[in-house]
């Protein structure tokens, strides 16, 4: 079975000439399906740049990157191809839930399958199933401002999972939450990884959740160092 994420020698340079900054200087990383991996590093270490490369929103300067067994940026990938890749194969969970405030909970989640071409009725059915799985089914008709922070983050996770992508990229998903809720979110991510064989990379500074990862990648000065974690598979 192909790795969910496989990158080698990945570099990213911003700017040119004397003003050039190498944000990534040869990153190697392999994440298997169903694995939850932590990505830890100080500010300015290249975490966000790596996440953006993995999320197919910025193109790396050099190196190889394969998502779900398919090399991307090879052979003339177009913007529309990258958009389809993000829609169908990558789920995003952000530090803030970033839900669409003018849609209700169900439609926030159903939006992704709808964008993929699914009918509104089927997309909403699938969204409701996902909301039930994340224990926020009772809030399906609520508007976003009516939800608590924890509920909003669960809805965001439901949105990331609804198209059952092989990869989820989570950018500090527990930052705005207290310890109890933060651990609950990580537990949900672990459950979903197991249930849907989804590879999950969690960028975090949160000391509380670091022990829950199976593996941890430290990133410093644009380079990654792997460390075994204490999570469920470790």
Partner 1 sequence: MINLAGRDILNGWGKFVFTGLGLGLLIGVTLSMAGIYRGLVDDGRVLLSNGGADLWVVQRDTLGPYAEPSNVRDDAYRALLGVKGVVEAGNVTYLTMQIEHQGSDVRVMLVGFQPGHPGEPGYLVAGRPITRSHYEAIADIKSGFRLGERIRIRRHEYTVVGLTRRMVSSGGDPMVFVPLRDAQEVQFLKDNDALVNERARIAANPAFNRPAVPGLLDAVQASQANSRTVNVVMLRLAPHADEAIVAGEIRRWKHLEAYTRADMDEILVAKLIATSAKQIFMFLVILAVVSAAIVAFIIYTMTLNKVREIAVLKLIGARNRTISAMILQQALGLGAIGFIVGKTAATLWAPIFPKYVLLLPGDAVLGALLVLVICALASIVAIRAALRVDPATAIGG
CA 135, 146, 169, 124 torsion-angle sign? positive
Taking every pair of Cα atoms in the chain, the longest distance, rounded to a whole number of angstroms, is: 56
CA distance 23 to 11: 7
CA distance 85 to 167: 11
Look up residue 71 and give its two tokens. Answer: 């090399």
Does position 107 bind partner 1 by CB under 8 A? yes
Does position 154 bind partner 1 by CB under 8 A? no
Q: Which residue has the tokens 């401002």?
A: 145
The residue range among 62-70, 105-113, 178-186, 211-219 that interacts with partner 1, by the rule CB under 8 A, is: 105-113
Question: Of 81 and 187, which has the nearer Cβ to partner 1?
Answer: 81
Does position 95 bind partner 1 by CB under 8 A? yes
Does position 121 bind partner 1 by CB under 8 A? no
Does position 125 bind partner 1 by CB under 8 A? no
The residue range among 7-15, 107-115, 127-135, 177-185 that interacts with partner 1, by the rule CB under 8 A, is: 107-115
Q: Which residues contact 17 (CB under 8 A, 6 or more apart)?
A: none
DSSP string, 132-197: HHTT-GGGTT-BGGGS-HHHHHHHHHHHHHTT--SEEEEESTTTTS-HHHHHHHHHHHHHHHHHHT
Does position 12 bind partner 1 by CB under 8 A? no
Least spacing, CB of residue 52 vs partner 1, in Å: 5
Does position 51 bind partner 1 by CB under 8 A? yes
Least spacing, CB of residue 208 vs partner 1, in Å: 21
Q: Is 80 helix (H, G, I), strand (E, B) or coil?
A: helix
Least spacing, CB of residue 160 vs partner 1, in Å: 9
Residue numbers at the binding site for partner 1 (CB under 8 A): 47-49, 51-52, 55, 57-58, 80, 83-84, 86-88, 92, 94-95, 98, 100-103, 107, 110-112, 114-116, 120, 143, 159, 169, 171
């Amino acid at each position: 079975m192909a790795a969910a994420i496989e990158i080698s020698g990945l570099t990213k340079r911003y700017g040119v000439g004397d003003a050039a900054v190498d944000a990534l200087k040869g990153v190697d990383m392999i994440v298997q399906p169903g694995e939850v991996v932590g990505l830890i590093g100080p500010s300015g270490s290249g975490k966000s740049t790596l996440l953006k490369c993995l999320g197919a929103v910025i193109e790396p300067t050099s190196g190889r990157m394969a998502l779900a067994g398919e090399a991307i940026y090879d052979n003339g990938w177009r913007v529309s191809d990258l958009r389809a890749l993000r829609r169908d194969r990558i789920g995003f969970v952000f530090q803030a839930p970033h839900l669409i405030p003018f849609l209700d909970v169900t439609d926030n989640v159903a939006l992704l399958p709808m964008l993929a071409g699914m009918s509104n009725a089927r997309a909403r059915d699938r969204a409701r199933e996902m909301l039930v799985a994340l224990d926020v089914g009772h809030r399906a008709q609520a508007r976003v401002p009516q939800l608590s922070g924890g509920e909003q983050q669960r809805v965001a996770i439901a949105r990331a999972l609804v198209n059952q992508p092989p990869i989820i990229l989570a950018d500090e998903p527990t930052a705005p939450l207290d310890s109890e809720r933060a651990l609950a979110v990580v537990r949900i991510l672990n459950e979903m990884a197991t249930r849907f064989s989804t590879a999950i990379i969690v960028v975090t500074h949160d000391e509380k959740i670091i022990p829950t990862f199976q593996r941890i990648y430290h990133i410093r000065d644009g380079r990654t160092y792997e460390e075994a974690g204490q999570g469920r598979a470790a």
